[in-house]
Amino acid sequence: MPLTRVDHLDPAYLHHWVATQAGIARTPGVQYAVLVRGEVVLDGAWGVTDLTSGTPLRGDHLFRVASHSKTFTATAVARLVERGEMRLDDALAAHVPELGGSRAGEVTVREALGHTGGLRRDGEDADFWQLAAPFPDRAHLLDSVLTSGDVLDRGEAFKYSNLAYGLLGLAIEAVTGTPYAEHVRTDLLEPLGLADTHPELDDDIDRRAVVGHSAPVLAEPGLPVRFADGRLPVAAATTGALAAATGFCSTARDLVRWAAAHCDGSDLLSPATRRLLQRAESVVELPGAPRREYGLGFESREIAGRRVVGHSGGFPGQITRTWFDPERGIAVAVLTNAVDGPADQIAGGLFSLVSKALGDVADDGGAARAGQAAAAHGSPAPHALDRWTGCFANLWGMVDVARLGEQLWLIDPRKADPFVGAEELSVDGSVLRPAVHDGFGPVGEAIEVLRDDAGEAVGVVVGGMTSWRAADYERERRAQAEPLTR
């Protein structure tokens, strides 16, 4: 649930927006967190850990965050480089002798980190991603790389490779003389206090792990769907020698704290090294897709006019995403337990809402100080604009009047981008008025806010059509539909 309400952020509204997105997508469970300048200001969960058991999802349940693992591996390598124990220009064969004499062995640490070494993505037989076989162990990984790992020349193109990150894990073990999991635990996780982050799933933490789910499965005509929502549970699996690429488990709260360690002001890495990891090594532009950039273990993109950095994760039955603005210290993480979970779209929308609400406040740490004050002295008095806010619905859909910072907005919470079609509102006496612009909707028409005897907003009239408080409307519609279902 939301932690607290601060002057510029309304966690209750953010929870509502995430829940709406999750419900529309029929995602079993969504866990999410927001951090501003080192303070976790939102930490929530919606749905269940497992459709079969129906166990309510909490903020401390663990997800497979998959390729987020690459950010940990890249950071571990960078710290070894800073200590002079490894060089980015080292060939992988310098640390993994079995690769000696092979083209894969000539790939440098930097090329492996940036996916420009030309190595195969997962191997000729990658059905372990469907849990048809175990993930490769060290011997299997090396055999796969040596027998069929070369696809492109070094530097020829950005070519994502889990095998390359598996080899980086072996290189870390060789340099440190300790197992990969032990090294990242003692060098990264424990110093940062990331107690809910683990390099691999094991029996001790399995009890706190969510269950992954397939996409909805269509039943044969005339046969009932056996599983809830038509989704099938996905069994847990360990990742063997690919842990450095995809093995990590974590929570949304820990991931935004991990992101904070990569924002300006952190001393985990030197500023120069941090910039090196986050700057674009490759630009990926595909037809019909947004421009994407990749550095060394970190992806970047533009959201809400800001360059954000982070990573996604895709594991059998679970999809996750983290984005952070390293300059303003804003981070969001969204974890879902379905193979079609909308983690990316929810994270992008959540970042947009938070960024709009904070404006320039995050640049001077004001939001973090506000959050600390609220936690110390209890929730602050409601903002003057809050009396106009609410979540409303009618037969045609949903509409929210939301306060983001010092501005009221009319938002459709069903849209992945909350600001597509959104209207800025101003208070005009007893009504709300949107800005005048070209459009097909009720442009410039005053929005009436309906209130109960206590003065609470219970409905809005937009373009002559009434929407009622969403919970009230849902109850009324269910009552109306009851005779039709008998």
Q: Where are the beta strands (DSSP E) in 330-446?
A: 330-336, 390-394, 397-404, 407-411, 423-428, 431-434
The confidence score (pLDDT) of residue 381 equals 62
**CATH code, residues 384-485:** 2.40.128
Residue 93 near residue 100 (C-beta atoms within 8 A): yes
Closest by CA position to 218, among listed 205, 227, 210:
227
Q: Is the dihedral of CA 143, 149, 154, 160 positive or negative?
A: negative
Q: Is the dihedral of CA 381, 353, 263, 174 positive or negative?
A: positive
The confidence score (pLDDT) of residue 368 equals 45
If residue 17 lies in a helix (H) or strand (E), which one and from where to where?
A: helix 11-25
| DSSP 8-state assignment for residue 346 | H
Closest by CA position to 273, among listed 109, 90, 79:
79
Question: Residue 425: beta bridge partners?
Answer: 408, 434
The confidence score (pLDDT) of residue 221 equals 62
Q: Is the dihedral of CA 421, 425, 428, 429 positive or negative?
A: positive
Q: Kind of pairing, strands 39-47 and 29-36?
A: antiparallel
Q: Provide the phi-psi class of 123: left if phi over 0, else alpha when psi is between -120 and 50, else beta.
A: left
* pTM (predicted TM-score): 0.92
Identify the residue whose tokens are 């349940």.
Answer: 61
Closest by CA position to 29, among listed 209, 222, 277:
209
What is the C-alpha to C-alpha distance for residues 187 and 196, in angstroms, rounded to an integer? 15
What is the C-alpha to C-alpha distance for residues 197 and 62, in angstroms, rounded to an integer? 8
Alpha carbon 155 to its chain centroid, in Å, reads 29
Residue 142 burial by CB count (10 A; 0-12/13-18/19+): exposed, middle or buried? buried
User: Residue 158 carries which side chain, given as an amino acid letter?
Assistant: F
> What token pair was written down for 323?
């984005």
CA distances for 486 relative to 188, 229, 273, 411, angstroms:
59, 22, 66, 36
Contacts of the segment 440-445: beta carbons below 8 A, 24+ positions apart: none
User: Which residue stretches of the chain have pLDDT < 70?
Assistant: 1-7, 218-228, 360-381, 484-486
> What token pair was written down for 362?
């995050």
